[in-house]
Chain A
């Protein structure tokens, strides 16, 4: 059996690995990038770029970012005010005032401080103890009152609900007048710059409807541009400045001046982590001409690099790397692009899902570019480029070239960087596996440390945040299992990856039991067994289970007594009961005076058989045996009896039971045998009728089994198979002709529509 991840199922085959391809099967739903990746961007790229790590299914990678336009700057704004107000307002009150309070609450608070009101609003009662000076109070509250009015048009909830009409709130001209007055009056640079920002934002929203209606560029006489240009030099280039710049960019965007807009967005992107997401989101070169113009607008090398970096994230990593590298090989803006390039190449895609022989496609341009830069080595993190180049070569199957790059990388690894070291170790292990053609005792010894390390990572005994090891883990167990299988070493193959077929042969299981029980296991055996999921108890249970269906009860009991907790769990229902209509849930809910464990069931079978051998209660005892052997099949109320990790524990249809065990767990032959014996021993016609009907259920199950297993139905859904007239005719005919006058017959007619329709057809 595969080790199946809930989110995503990976299967790596030997043939495919050595050919450097990957086989994928989609388990449905979303997945985590780390499931398919060997290459962790976190090991190489600055954290501020993490939302743009390659992500195959979401806009942004990870969860460590705020993508809400209404709140993304809140913390920054609060921090700035806190410094400005000399921390005289408690953080909580400051947040409330800035982001939660209504206009009225702010107004009341201000009036309280001015002495016009006696009490503060409830939500702000602790403001009383703030130590603001009179000047700080008036500056802060007067700004806040105006800013609150601006929120009406600047902060909006975009979701359109059923019950409301989202209308565009036009900025009121009076607000602009007040802002302008306050701006001219204020001399404090902190406050003055904030009013400047508010004025620019006002201007943006004021002109927005007109620009939305007609963006055809006439002469740009916007007050926004004038306002920005006139005062921009008077303020520091801080977050307020760049947020104002963002609105200027928006203005040009709406006027379809994409060259200028994209250039300005790139400046904002470069300014801070908070501005990266909105700037990247807005960055849309339209035609090659405007893109070239954006580049011309860049004032220096650094600005050009940012532009290329952004186009690289959005469209073309290769072209961007080439251009940035030409401008400055040491630029840190290369890092993100390289990680994206690699992560995209190794990611699965729809074609690979459909056709497992599809190889990962790596263009020669990509590999040549990374090779060239890695070989030149004049970048900031040469180990990163060498690892990337090596990994690309592993993916193309060129193990020798990969080895060279990795050896370089090892020399260059930064000191005390556990993640980079682990990343190197993982890639090197991946390379080792790619070159592995045969396993002998020497290679086994070589593998011990890494096998243990991977198992430690899996078991969280070694934790390295962000290291993507899941793919290496799956690849390792698949590859080793297949190699051993190829070498005829089934036992070792089974340790790395279990298969149902292994458990059909008793000698396999015995061999595994001795390996597990070996007192002097080699270090390799110890490491290998960390990948084996079963313990001896599981194996004893399985061996016993096989004997149960051969009616070797005593031998099965002996094995189960060694199986630990496997045989001592309570069954959900009494398996000695039989009913006209199978209803597992009814049986589960029925009052159970005695709970049976699996082992109890066997011991009870043994006791019943002893009574039968002594000639006692032949009808009842045989009926009980019929019931219990019926219930431990797929059709009975004790499926958990045979459902284990080895035999498959989640089959709801007989078709889901592994082929190796299907007939064993679906056949009602043993039950039928005992029902017929019970019928022979029966004393009344009603008893005989009951046994006949129970045998009919077994006959019907045979029809199910035959139909489900019929190759002609292989491609059909179970609901497409029609059983409505597939009657258990052998026993139904008996019931109909011989027992029509019994009470039980009438009961059956009442309960079983299937039989009733048979009778109606007679």
Chain B
């Protein structure tokens, strides 16, 4: 019965979608390239979720402090901005429960100041945190305190594991949630594993619990790619700056041809520097990313399970990598129309 209802929803939603599109901006210096500006305007009506600062634990000062505070190189007056604060688990773990209220107070004060200085008028605030069972109590206390200090609508990011086990990880005390529909799996050195950014099989393991989640949910979709460097069967690092084109250069890399690989992989033929990354002979690079087709499938999959919601926001992470995929305004509108 439920299944039938969902089917009806899917087929009907696409025609009269009320969803809004938005992008994330996650760098520390705010400046958009002309192409990004155009994309933001045409695909998202200038809606931007802008990371204002992170809150991290400072080992020297022994306190949670802002980090990577955004610097504005150009005006945001034409944009409709939602400020985002990212808070690390460690800063919650290390801050004494009695210090949480003042942390929220200071975070809000900084946010208000940054907004005021740059003429940003906002309606919502988003807090991003990969909270766990052990930080739940403090994080939720932080959110409640934050809401007390800043009366705006509060949204918290929800990772897939938090949807699956809400009884364990709790549901944050906020007005709405933002489902991060990506990072399905661990970044792995194995080659025969599925795309860790998005794959329908791993996603399926989480989304069954979605219809019952106790918050209205916006959705974030992955519009990024990375190359994962693997040496001696161990992951060295992942790099967004290395593209498929660079890995496809036969002078430097040889593609690993195996039918069982779900993402392309390459072996380095020599030791050399590439965009500041040192590549050693024999290093393996796995390329993971998304494109129009994958995102459409993801949108279709997740929208079928979300409880109905008008004016849902679909946020793409993140604007500077969209051009690299590439993804066009038309594609994005089409993908968002699934919601």
Report chain A residues within 8 Å CB of B280. 315-316
Q: Decide: A349 and B234 in contact? CB cutoff 8 A.
A: yes
Q: Decide: A314 and B278 in contact? CB cutoff 8 A.
A: yes
With contacts A314-B278, A349-B234 taken as known, whether A286 is within 8 angstroms of B273 at the C-beta atoms is yes
A102 to B214, CA, bound (A): 59
A411 to B323, CA, bound (A): 64
Q: Decide: A213 and B65 in contact? CB cutoff 8 A.
A: no
Report chain B residues within 8 Å CB of A285. 273, 276, 278
Q: Decide: A162 and B273 in contact? CB cutoff 8 A.
A: no
A213 to B73, CA, bound (A): 8
Q: Quick one: which of A160, A285, A349 has the most chain B CB within 10 A? A: A160
A163 to B65, CA, bound (A): 10
CB distance from A715 to the nearest CB of B (A): 16
Q: Decide: B109 and A286 in contact? CB cutoff 8 A.
A: no
Q: Decide: A162 and B233 in contact? CB cutoff 8 A.
A: no
Q: Quick one: which of B73, B233, B272, B273 has the most chain A CB within 10 A? A: B273
Report chain B residues within 8 Å CB of A288. 272-274
Report chain B residues within 8 Å CB of A290. 273
Interface residues as binary, B266-278 with A (CB distance below 8 Å gives 1, 0 otherwise): 0000011111101
A319 to B270, CA, bound (A): 11
Report chain B residues within 8 Å CB of A316. 271, 278, 280
Q: Decide: A162 and B66 in contact? CB cutoff 8 A.
A: yes
Q: Which of A280-298 contact B (CB under 8 A)?
A: 284-288, 290-291
Report chain A residues within 8 Å CB of B77. none
Q: Decide: B234 and A286 in contact? CB cutoff 8 A.
A: no
Q: Say whether B258 faces chain A, with CB atoms less than 8 Å apart.
A: no
With contacts A286-B276, A290-B273 taken as known, whether A160 is within 8 angstroms of B233 at the C-beta atoms is no
Report chain A residues within 8 Å CB of B260. none
With contacts A159-B65, A160-B65 taken as known, whether A315 is within 8 angstroms of B278 at the C-beta atoms is yes
Nearest B residue (CB) for A284: B276
Q: Decide: A161 and B273 in contact? CB cutoff 8 A.
A: no
Q: Say whether B67 faces chain A, with CB atoms less than 8 Å apart.
A: yes
Q: Decide: A160 and B66 in contact? CB cutoff 8 A.
A: yes
Q: Say whether A586 faces chain B, with CB atoms less than 8 Å apart.
A: no
A163 to B67, CA, bound (A): 13
**A161, A213, A291, A350: the one within 8 Å of B234 (CB):** A350
Nearest B residue (CB) for A163: B106
Q: Decide: B234 and A351 in contact? CB cutoff 8 A.
A: yes
Q: Decide: B61 and A159 in contact? CB cutoff 8 A.
A: yes
A363 to B278, CA, bound (A): 18
With contacts A213-B73, A349-B234, A351-B234 taken as known, whether A319 is within 8 angstroms of B65 at the C-beta atoms is no
Q: Say whether A135 faces chain B, with CB atoms less than 8 Å apart.
A: no
Nearest B residue (CB) for A286: B276
Interface size on B, residues (CB 8 A): 23
Q: Say whether A683 faces chain B, with CB atoms less than 8 Å apart.
A: no
Nearest B residue (CB) for A285: B273
Q: Say whether B209 faces chain A, with CB atoms less than 8 Å apart.
A: no
Report chain A residues within 8 Å CB of B232. 361, 363
With contacts A213-B73, A285-B273 taken as known, whether A162 is within 8 angstroms of B234 at the C-beta atoms is no
Nearest A residue (CB) for B53: A160
A contact residues, range: 20 to 34
Q: Which of A252-298 contact B (CB under 8 A)?
A: 284-288, 290-291
A160 to B66, CA, bound (A): 6
A287 to B278, CA, bound (A): 8
Q: Which of A37-51 contact B (CB under 8 A)?
A: none
With contacts A159-B58, A162-B110, A286-B275 taken as known, whether A351 is within 8 angstroms of B66 at the C-beta atoms is no
Nearest B residue (CB) for A290: B273
A285 to B272, CA, bound (A): 10
Q: Say whether B60 faces chain A, with CB atoms less than 8 Å apart.
A: yes
Report chain B residues within 8 Å CB of A350. 234
Q: Quick one: which of B69, B110, B278 has the most chain A CB within 10 A? A: B278
A161 to B67, CA, bound (A): 9
A286 to B239, CA, bound (A): 14
Q: Decide: A160 and B69 in contact? CB cutoff 8 A.
A: yes
Q: Which of B245-272 contact A (CB under 8 A)?
A: 271-272
Interface residues as binary, B44-81 with A (CB distance below 8 Å gives 1, 0 otherwise): 00000000000000101100011101000100000000
Nearest B residue (CB) for A162: B106
Nearest A residue (CB) for B109: A162
Nearest B residue (CB) for A287: B273
Nearest A residue (CB) for B73: A213
Report chain A residues within 8 Å CB of B65. 159-162
Nearest A residue (CB) for B68: A160
Q: Decide: A351 and B233 in contact? CB cutoff 8 A.
A: yes
CB distance from B87 to the nearest CB of A (A): 13
CB distance from A49 to the nearest CB of B (A): 20
Report chain B residues within 8 Å CB of A284. 276
A159 to B64, CA, bound (A): 11
CB distance from B126 to the nearest CB of A (A): 20
A229 to B234, CA, bound (A): 47
A313 to B232, CA, bound (A): 19
CB distance from A490 to the nearest CB of B (A): 39
Q: Quick one: which of A162, A284, A290, A319 has the most chain B CB within 10 A? A: A162
B residues with CB within 8 A of A: 58, 60-61, 65-67, 69, 73, 106, 109-110, 113, 232-234, 271-276, 278, 280
- Knowing that A159-B58, A163-B106, A361-B233 touch, tell me 14 more A-B residue pairs with CB under 8 angstroms: A159-B65, A160-B69, A161-B65, A162-B109, A162-B110, A213-B73, A284-B276, A285-B278, A286-B273, A287-B276, A288-B274, A314-B278, A315-B278, A316-B278
30 contacts between A and B (CB under 8 A): A159-B58, A159-B61, A160-B65, A160-B66, A160-B67, A160-B69, A161-B65, A162-B109, A163-B106, A165-B113, A284-B276, A285-B276, A285-B278, A286-B273, A286-B275, A286-B276, A287-B273, A288-B273, A290-B273, A291-B273, A314-B278, A315-B278, A315-B280, A316-B278, A316-B280, A349-B234, A350-B234, A351-B233, A351-B234, A361-B232
Give the 9 A-B residue pairs with the shortest CB-CB distance, closest first.
Answer: A315-B278, A288-B272, A162-B106, A286-B276, A285-B273, A288-B273, A361-B232, A291-B273, A287-B273
A residues with CB within 8 A of B: 159-163, 165, 213, 284-288, 290-291, 314-316, 319, 349-351, 361, 363
